[in-house]
Amino acid sequence: MSTPAPAETSDPVREHTRTGLSKAALMQAYIDNLFYIQGRFREVATPHDRYMAAAFTARDRLLDRWLKSAQVFKTTHARTVCYLSAEFLLGPHLLNNLVNLGITRASREAATEMDLDFNAILEEEEEPGLGNGGLGRLAACFMDSLSTCQIPAIGYGIRYEFGIFDQAIEDGWQVEKSDTWLRNGNPWEIPRPKIRFPVLYGGYTQSYQDQDGRARTRWVPDQEIDGMAYDTPVLGYGVGNVNLLRLWKAEASQSFDFQAFNVGDYYGAVHAKIEAETISKVLYPNDEPEAGKALRLKQQFFFVSCSLQDMIRLHLNTVGPLETFADKFVVQLNDTHPSLAVAELMRLLMDEQGMEWEPAWDITRRTFCYTNHTLLPEALETWSVNLFERLLPRHLEIVYEINRRFLDEVRMRFLGDESRVARMSLIAEEGVRRVRMAHLAVVGSRAVNGVAALHSELVKTTILKDFHDLWPEKFHNVTNGVTPRRFMVVSNPRLAHLITEVCGDDRWIRDLGRLRELESHADDPEVQARWRQVKTAAKQDLAVWLRQNTGVELNPAVMFDVLAKRFHEYKRQHLSILHVIRCYQRLKQNPGQEMVPRAFVFGGKAAPGYYLAKLIIKLINSVAEVINHDPQVNGSIRVVFMPDFNVKNGQRLYPAADLSEQISLAGKEASGTGNMKFSMNGALTIGTLDGANVEIREEVGAENFFLFGMTVDEVRQKQSAGYRPWDIYNGDPELKADIDLISSGLFSYGDTNLFRPLTDHLLHQDPFMVLADYRAYLDCQERVGAVWRDPAQWDRMSILNVARMGKFSSDRAIREYAERIWQIEPLPVALN
Ligand SMILES: *Cc1c(COP(=O)(O)O)cnc(C)c1O
C-alpha cells in the first residue's frame, strides 16, 4: 500500500506535487488527492474516487497557471472580453484539460504504472449539460479558443442545478430524465461565497431629487435574491493563459432573510429561500411553447445583473472611473438571451452610479456587441410588456426611453415612413404589446453579427433589414468554428496521431490551416490505408458502445451514415427517414438488388413539449425495429438511434461517421457546427446550401461535397408560387409508397393513426418542404453510394475534406471577433 509521503521527507529538487508535469509528479499527486481529498486508500477507492483524484490532479495544474494569468491581467489592466451566454455546453473536462496541459501521455503512463484503467477514469466523468445544443456548444468552443488565442476573457452564465434533460428511449419514445450532474460534486469549479451580488425584481419606481437637486429615479423592488459566483478555470492549448468561466447560482438574499427573522416569520424566510433558489434550478429546453416564461425572464435578468455588477466592481477596483468602462470591457451577447444587459447597464450607471443619460448611453453602446443565431421568426425572443413590467418595472421605463430616442432618430432619417417606425420599434404594438429583444440588442450594440456568410446576408436582407438600412456599418459576419482540441485531439486521438505523422509535426492543433499539408498525400495508397484503418477503428468503438447501449449490432465495414443534432422540423430528420424507408422498400421488392450496405445512425433530443419532433423520434425507432429484425434486409441496412446525444456521446459519433447528414431546408440553419465536426473527422457531407455548409463546400471543393436541394431563392419562389406538397406526393410513386407505408401501420403494429399527425402535416402543410427536396435527396444518395464503391476515391475525398477544414477552427472565428469587432489584442501569459 502506498501512503502519501509527508512533505518534509520529499526531495526538494523533485517537482512540486501540485504543479509538476512528469509521470512521477502526477502519480504522487493522484495518490495524495485520493487520500487527502477523497479520503480513500487505493485498495478501497471506487471508480468515482479515482476520477475525482485524477480531476483534482489536473485542476491543481490549471490553478497554478490561472494565478499567473490573473496577475498579468490585473497588473496590465488588460482589455477583456466578457462573453455573456445563457448556455455553456462544456462537455467532459478531464481529458480536454490534460490535452491542453500537454500531459496526456504522462497521465496515461502514470495510470498504467499504477494499474489503473485510464479510459475508465475518463468515462466516469458526467458532463455538465448547461446548454441545449449548437448555441451553448459554440460558447464552450469559444472559451477554449479565447484562452488558446490568448485573449483575456470572462465567460458569464448560469450554474443550472439541472442541465438539459437526459434522454432515454422507451418503447421507441423519448423519455426525459432530470440531469443531476452535481450529485457527486463538481471538482472543476471553485465556489466564491464572497463574490455575491443582489438581484432585484418587481415593485415600483419613484422619482426624487438628489442632494444636487437632480431628478433621479429610485427602484423599490419587492424581491431581492443573491447571485453567488462559481468559477471554472479554462486553460488554452499549450499556453499559459487561463480565462475564467464564472457561473452564477441563485441564493436567498442574506438581507432579506434577516428581515424575515426579525419579524419572526421563520417559515416565510425558508420559503423565500426556496423560491430564490429556483431561479438557477433548471435549464429550459428551447423550442418549448410558453413553458415557464416568467422564470426564464427572471433567469436572464439574474445572470445579466450579476455579471454587469461584477464587471463594474472589477473596473472600480482596478482601472477606476467608469467613463473608461467600454475601453476595459467589451461584452458579447450570445443571442438575445442576455440582451436585458443593455437596460441593466443603463440602470446601474444612472441609478446606482449617478450618471446622466447621455454618458451612460454612450458607454452602453460602446460596450455591447450582439450575435444573432436564428432567422426563424418564431424563435425571435419577445416578452409581453405586462410580464416585463411586473418583473422589471425600472427596465421597462428605460426601454421606453431608449425607444423614444431611437424612433426619433429613425423619423429624422426616414421622414414620414411611419410603417418603418412601427416595424423598428422596440415594442410590438399589434395584439398583446411585447418587447422585441433583438431590437433592444441591435440598438444597444455597436456591432451585430450573423454566424455564417449566408446567414449574415439573410440577417441584413430579412429580419434586420430596417436596421441595416439605418446602420449598414454595424453589420458583420463571423462564421462559426469548433475547437480542434476537443473535436479532433480529444475525441479522435488515432486520427490526430496520423495527421501529426503525415504533416510532420503537431502545429496544426493550434494552426488548423496547416492541415493543408495533408492534400499532397490524398492519393497516397499507404496514407489512404492508414486513414481507413483509423476510421474503421472509430467505427468499431462506436459499434461496441451502441451494442452495449441499444442492443443493435453494426458491422464496421459498412458505411456509417449519421444524422445527429437537436430534433427540429427545419433540420428535416424526417427527410432522412424517408430515404431509409425507400432503401427498405427497394430491398423488399427486389431482394437481389445491389445496394451499398449502410448503417443509419440517428441521435438527438427533442424539446419535451415539441410533439412532432418527438413523433419523428418514435418513427425512426419504429422503422429501426422493423428493419433490424427483417433478415431479408438487415444484412444490407440497419438503423440505430443513439440515446442521449450530448457532447460526450457526440465525441463517439463524429470520428466514426463516413457520411454526415446536413439536410436542413435552405435558409433555416444559421450556421451549424455539427457539419464542421463531422467533416474535420473525415466524414463526407451530404447537404443543402444552408448555413456554413455553403462555406464548407467552398473550402473542400464542390467535387468533394454531396450537394442537393433547393437554394434559398428557389425556396422563396416555390413558396410564393403556392407550395402544394400534395401534388408532389401524387406525382412521385416512390414518395407516395414511402408515405403510404408509414400510414399503413407497418411500423406501428397496425396502428394507422399513430403517425398520422406527421404524414398529414407533410401532405398538407410541409412548412420545411421535405417533399420538395425528396427526389433530389434520393438522387444524391445514389451518387454517395456510387463513390463509396470506389474506396480510393472515397478516401481521397475524406482526406481532402480534413485537409481543407482549417477555416472552421474556432480559433479563426475568435481572431476575427478580436480584430474586427472587439478591437482587442492577444496578451500572452508566459509558461512558468
Ligand atoms: C455540435 C453540437 C450540436 C450542434 O449540432 P448542429 O448539427 O450544428 O445542429 C448540438 N449538440 C451537441 C451536443 C453538439 O456537440
Question: How high is the pLDDT of residue 566?
Answer: 98
* Mean residue pLDDT across the chain: 95
| SS3 assignment, position 184 | coil
CA of 719 to the centre of ligand 1 (A): 29
Going by pLDDT thresholds of 50, 70 and 90, the confidence category of residue 447 is very high
d(CA 72, CA 59): 20
Q: What is the mean pLDDT of residues 381-390?
A: 96
Q: What is the mean pLDDT of residues 96-107?
A: 98
Going by pLDDT thresholds of 50, 70 and 90, the confidence category of residue 261 is low
d(CA 810, CA 480): 7
Question: How high is the pLDDT of residue 202?
Answer: 97
Question: How high is the pLDDT of residue 753?
Answer: 98
Question: How high is the pLDDT of residue 319?
Answer: 84
Question: How high is the pLDDT of residue 699?
Answer: 98
Whether residue 536 is predicted with pLDDT greater than 80 in this model: the reply is yes
List the grid coordinates of 502.
503525415
Catalytic residue among 455, 460, 565, 568, which? 565
Whether residue 235 is predicted with pLDDT greater than 80 in this model: the reply is yes
Whether residue 172 is predicted with pLDDT greater than 80 in this model: the reply is yes
**Residues with Cβ < 8 Å from 344, sequence gap 6 or more?**
301, 304, 305, 308, 395
Instruction: Check pocket membership of 131 for ligand 1, CB cut-off 6 A.
Output: no
Residue from 90, 135, 137, 602 to probe ligand 1 pocket by mutation (most atoms less than 8 Å from CB): 137
Nearest ligand 1 atom, CA 482: 1
User: For 323-369, how does the pLDDT look when each residue is reduced to its tens digit (9 = 90+)?
Assistant: 999 999 999 999 999 999 999 999 999 999 999 999 999 999 999 99
Q: What is the mean pLDDT of residues 574-590?
A: 98
Report residue 646 CA to chain centroid gap.
Answer: 10
Whether residue 296 is predicted with pLDDT greater than 60 in this model: the reply is yes
- Residues 661 and 578 sit within 8 Å (Cβ to Cβ): no
Domain range summary for the chain, segments of one domain joined by +: 14-75+93-126, 77-91+127-480+816-822, 487-808
d(CA 312, CA 309): 5
Question: How high is the pLDDT of residue 291?
Answer: 61
List the grid coordinates of 167.
434522454
Q: What is the mean pLDDT of residues 155-169?
A: 98
- Residues 538 and 556 sit within 8 Å (Cβ to Cβ): no
Question: How high is the pLDDT of residue 792?
Answer: 98
CA of 502 to the centre of ligand 1 (A): 29
Instruction: Check pocket membership of 673 for ligand 1, CB cut-off 6 A.
Output: yes
Say whether domain 77-91+127-480+816-822 belongs to CATH 3.40.50.2000. Answer: yes
Q: What is the mean pLDDT of residues 694-713?
A: 98
Question: How high is the pLDDT of residue 334?
Answer: 98
**For residue 167, how many C-alpha atoms fall within 13 Å in the half-sphere facing its CB?**
26
| SS3 assignment, position 392 | coil
Residues in the chain: 832
List the grid coordinates of 603.
441521435
Active site annotation includes 718 = no
Nearest alpha carbon, ligand 1 atom 3: 134
Instruction: Check pocket membership of 565 for ligand 1, CB cut-off 6 A.
Output: yes
d(CA 717, CA 722): 9
Question: 338, 344, 436, 337: which is closest to 384 by C-alpha?
Answer: 436
Q: Which residues pair with 249 in a beta bridge?
A: 228
Distance set, CA 640 to CA 103, 183, 629 (Å): 36, 30, 12
Whether residue 530 is predicted with pLDDT greater than 80 in this model: the reply is yes
CA of 290 to the centre of ligand 1 (A): 24
- Residues 635 and 576 sit within 8 Å (Cβ to Cβ): no
Q: What is the mean pLDDT of residues 645-655?
A: 98
Whether residue 615 is predicted with pLDDT greater than 60 in this model: the reply is yes
Farthest CA pair distance, the chain: 92
Whether residue 562 is predicted with pLDDT greater than 60 in this model: the reply is yes
**Residues with Cβ < 8 Å from 519, sequence gap 6 or more?**
799, 800, 803, 804
User: For 12-60, how does the pLDDT look when each residue is reduced to its tens digit (9 = 90+)?
Assistant: 456 789 999 999 999 999 999 999 999 999 999 999 999 999 999 999 9
Whether residue 650 is predicted with pLDDT greater than 60 in this model: the reply is yes
Going by pLDDT thresholds of 50, 70 and 90, the confidence category of residue 3 is very low
Percent of the chain with pLDDT over 70: 97
Lowest mean pLDDT, pick from 52-56, 268-272, 820-824:
268-272
Catalytic residue among 571, 579, 638, 761, which? 571
Nearest ligand 1 atom, CA 571: 9
Whether residue 214 is predicted with pLDDT greater than 60 in this model: the reply is yes
Whether residue 9 is predicted with pLDDT greater than 60 in this model: the reply is no
Going by pLDDT thresholds of 50, 70 and 90, the confidence category of residue 275 is confident
**For residue 100, how many C-alpha atoms fall within 13 Å in the half-sphere facing its CB?**
29
Q: Identical fold at 77-91+127-480+816-822 and 487-808?
A: yes
Q: What is the mean pLDDT of residues 283-296?
A: 82
Catalytic residue among 65, 315, 395, 677, which? 677
Question: How high is the pLDDT of residue 288?
Answer: 76
What is the third-level CATH fold of 487-808? Answer: Rossmann fold (3.40.50)
Instruction: Check pocket membership of 647 for ligand 1, CB cut-off 6 A.
Output: yes
Distance set, CA 480 to CA 381, 422, 456, 559, 562 (Å): 21, 32, 11, 28, 21
Question: How high is the pLDDT of residue 4?
Answer: 46
Question: How high is the pLDDT of residue 287?
Answer: 78
Question: How high is the pLDDT of residue 290?
Answer: 66
Question: How high is the pLDDT of residue 253?
Answer: 85
Q: What is the mean pLDDT of residues 770-777?
A: 98
Whether residue 271 is predicted with pLDDT greater than 90 in this model: the reply is no
